[in-house]
Amino acid sequence: MSLQQDLENRSGNKCELCGEIHNLSIYEVKPTSTGGVDGSLLACETCVTQIENPETTESNHWRCLNDSMWSEHRAVKVVAWRMLSRLRNEGWPQDLLDMMYLEDDDLRFAKESGDHLDDSEKIIHRDANGAILQAGDSVVLIKDLKVKGSSLVAKQGTAVRRISLDHENAKYIEGKVGPTQIVIITDFVKKMPEKE
């Protein structure tokens, strides 16, 4: 069975966030190392647009989270927590957040989006050209980098996929070069354009 079919079966052919039955697609929760059924959910166009473009968020649309936040599926719970955190200043989302429980791993994953932080608290990671980097992005090295504590040299032009961000230092990201997980300084990377 395909991922689409698995998610349709799991959700009953409706958006796992708001219950809409039209314009459904797979939404892979970023940043994710698992993908697949555990790292994805079936979502409508309205939900996906508002998740990916915070400036388009309509708080009343997300009152649906009153139900979907209780989902047994990790991806749904994580997205519900992120959206409630983003909207918490509205009042009612904070009440729902206070009732919500996430396991430590799920909460750590949910916080990777930074939606729970006020704008003044957010650390913004930028590549050598000033483009904003987000967890899950792919970057390419713009110079050879010697990896501390090993004989490995990460060559210029090497692609590093699905990076994670250091939430305490805007200059540090992490990613895998071959089998090795390394810390990279953002001044030495360029964001790769997302494939359409």
163 pLDDT more than 50: yes
Backbone angles phi, psi at 175, to 5 degrees: -170, 170
Structure-derived torsion over alpha carbons of residues 50, 56, 59, 62, reported in degrees to the nearest 10: -10
- CB-facing half-sphere around the CA of 38: CA atoms within 13 A: 5
Give 179's pLDDT tier (boundaries 50, 70, 90). Answer: confident
196 pLDDT more than 50: no
Give 80's pLDDT tier (boundaries 50, 70, 90). Answer: very high
Report percent pLDDT > 90 for the chain. Answer: 44
Element (H, E) at 11: helix 3-11
121 pLDDT more than 60: no
Which residue reads 């555990």 in tokens? 38
195 pLDDT more than 70: no
Least confident of 28-32, 93-97, 155-159, 182-186: 28-32
**Do residues 107 and 3 make contact, with C-beta atoms less than 8 angstroms apart?**
no
Burial class (CB in 10 A: 0-12, 13-18, 19+), 151: exposed
pLDDT in tens, 67-78: 999 999 999 999
192 pLDDT more than 70: yes
**pLDDT number for residue 154:** 87
Assess if CATH 2.30.30.40 describes domain 122-191.
yes
**pLDDT number for residue 33:** 54
Burial class (CB in 10 A: 0-12, 13-18, 19+), 98: exposed
Q: Where are the domains of the chain?
A: 3-111, 122-191
Average pLDDT over residues 77-89: 91
Among positive and negative, which fits the CA dihedral 150, 156, 158, 159? positive
**pLDDT number for residue 181:** 85
How many angstroms separate the CA atoms of 171 and 157, rounded?
19
Helices (H), 31-188: 45-52, 65-68, 74-86, 92-99, 104-111
Instruction: For residue 68, give the nearest of 60, 59, 77 by alpha carbon.
Output: 77
Average pLDDT over residues 88-104: 89
pLDDT in tens, 34-70: 678 888 999 999 999 999 888 888 989 999 999 999 9
**Do residues 165 and 105 make contact, with C-beta atoms less than 8 angstroms apart?**
no
How many angstroms separate the CA atoms of 162 and 53, rounded?
20
**pLDDT number for residue 105:** 87
Quote the tokens at residue 21.
């039955």
